Amino acid sequence: MSEGTLRVVVVGAGAAGTLVSARLLDSAVRAGRGVAVDLVDPAPETGRGLAYATSDPRHLLNVTAGRMSALPHDEGDFVRWLSAREARPVDPGEYVPRARYGSYLADALNRSEAAGGSTATVRRRHDLVVAIERKPSAGTNNGVRLQLRGGGALDADAVVLALGNLAPSGEWIPAGLRESPHFVADPWRPGALANAPTDRDVLLVGTGLTMCDIALTLAVSGRTVHAVSRRGLLPLPHAADAPSRTTFQLGPVTGPLDLAQLKRGVRHRAALYRRHYGDWRPAVDELRPHISQVWQQLSFADRERFLTGELRNWEVHRHRLPPATDQALADAQRAGLLTVQAAEVVKARTSDDGCGVSVQLSNGWSATVGALINCTGTESRIQELADPLVRCLLDLGIAVPGPHGLGFDTAIDGRLTAAGARTAAPVWTLGQLRRGNLWETTAIPEIRVQAAELAARILGRKTAPALA
């Protein structure tokens, strides 16, 4: 490593970490700068994270292939890559298995690494960052030191936190249930479902996208999968045939708006699209590029009202299912392999025979199930997380919670806001951890743009001179 090489540590090798690592290499090549990226994550594979580590071919991307390019400026990259791998012309409108996308992300980083040569490099470290501290320096670009679970340390001029989907929420879990061998706190943990009995029913808590995937895996003859959430709402499906929007489009949302005005406006747009196309979905999709702006225009009180009263209704319309997944779930319900209830878990304990969990719901339903699985989705409230790196960042004041306690508070470029009047450390983040500031920040179309912008920002710092 040359003296002028910029040292960057990317924490997390899922989609966000892989994309930002690739863009750092690309930006370094374009700028003629040296960069050495350490990509740190204990996971055995790069690019998969929680979302794309599944090997179940029934777990599909919930966005069409044509919208999943890793490159903001080249929307066809994923489709071309997949067409070459499968030796067939892949339709941009296809919903493909998520595992294929994880392979694509890993290959995208490999391509950037090959183009980087000896001056723009990435090194994969299968370890876990557990602590971070500022390095004392008289300069204005103070670096940081990261401690690894394996005992080593990494010094960096800049750090990118790409922690992806965080641990599932556990707010609802009754006392004592966590210790039950029949309780699955995180269904995406490797091997988490291996002990679910095939001859006994199971209960899934949560009815969002995670539940839909887990239900498809577990719904087999001889076992009924019961799903429960407070409202019992499943994500709505994408339209089998998306209508063209070439002849009629509404303009961007204008503001500022309050929550009541926003709700009326969205309903009005949906009604207009139904009238023109027989489908409300284009109205929601058209809002997507403007959601972060609208979120920031709402008052704090309106955002709180949205989070407590409107969130689930928005999610089922915004984060939709592939038509094939929706059909498979409907078939499972008709066959009696899946039930969905609107209720909450009142009591849950290991059954008297020690072979399952005895459960009682708020609607009076009770049963003993072979496994109880937490499908409530990731925890966005940063203060609720026990992750040692998150706790360290907050305890040292390198980071503070974002608005409404969601993720970390960040500047417009994704740099962490420090506590009090302290100078911000050279630590940036993207994706899920910016949810409090941006709201719409968890999907690939947003993350790929953030990754490119963040890489350009870090490479634009004056820490490393241009190569001769």
**Same domain flag for 118 and 40:** yes
Q: At residue 1, does pLDDT exceed 50? A: no
pLDDT for 247 equals 47
pLDDT for 154 equals 96
Higher per-residue confidence, 50 vs 245: 50
Contact between 11 and 163 (Cβ < 8 Å): yes
Q: How many domains does the chain have?
A: 3
The verdict on residue 48 lying in a domain is yes
The verdict on residue 442 lying in a domain is yes
Q: At residue 138, does pLDDT exceed 80? A: no
**Same domain flag for 397 and 362:** no
Would strands 202-205 and 225-229 be described as parallel, antiparallel, or unpaired?
parallel
**Same domain flag for 263 and 390:** no
Higher per-residue confidence, 170 vs 110: 110
Residue 271 dihedral angles phi and psi, to the nearest 5° = -65, -40
Burial of 434 (0-12, 13-18, 19+ CB in 10 A): buried
SS3 215: helix
SS3 247: coil
Enclosing domain of residue 289: 259-318
**Same domain flag for 204 and 223:** yes
Q: Among 74-78, 130-134, 261-265, 390-394, where is mean pLDDT lowest?
A: 261-265
The verdict on residue 172 lying in a domain is no
* Residue-by-residue DSSP string for 345-367: EEEEEE-TTSSSEEEEETTS-EE
pLDDT for 465 equals 35
The verdict on residue 467 lying in a domain is no
**Same domain flag for 195 and 285:** no
Residue 368 dihedral angles phi and psi, to the nearest 5° = -110, 120
Output the six-digit token pair for 112. Answer: 């950037």
The verdict on residue 413 lying in a domain is yes
**Same domain flag for 359 and 393:** no
pLDDT for 249 equals 54
**Same domain flag for 38 and 156:** yes
**Same domain flag for 37 and 155:** yes
Please write the tens of the pLDDT for every residue from 394-424: 999 999 999 999 999 999 999 999 998 789 9
Contact between 184 and 173 (Cβ < 8 Å): no
Contact between 360 and 366 (Cβ < 8 Å): yes
Q: Where are the alpha helices (DSSP H) in 300-443?
A: 300-305, 311-318, 323-334, 388-395, 435-438
Q: Among 235-249, 265-279, 315-329, 436-450, where is mean pLDDT lowest?
A: 235-249
The verdict on residue 79 lying in a domain is no
Q: In what order do the strands lie in the sheet containing 371-374?
A: 183-184, 371-374, 202-205, 225-229, 338-342
CATH number at residue 28: 3.50.50.60
Q: Establish how many alpha carbons lie within 13 A of residue 419's alpha carbon, considering only the half-sphere containing its beta carbon.
A: 10
pLDDT for 152 equals 93
Domain final position from 318, 337, 366: 318
Averaged pLDDT for residues 448-459: 95
Q: Peptide bond preceding 256: is omega within 30 degrees of 0, i.e. cis?
A: yes
Angle at 359 between CA 356 and CA 362, to 5 degrees: 170
**Same domain flag for 302 and 328:** no
pLDDT for 289 equals 85
Cα of 393 vs its chain's centroid, Å: 20
CA atoms of 110 and 113, how far apart (whole Å): 5
* Mean pLDDT, the chain, integer: 90
The verdict on residue 77 lying in a domain is no
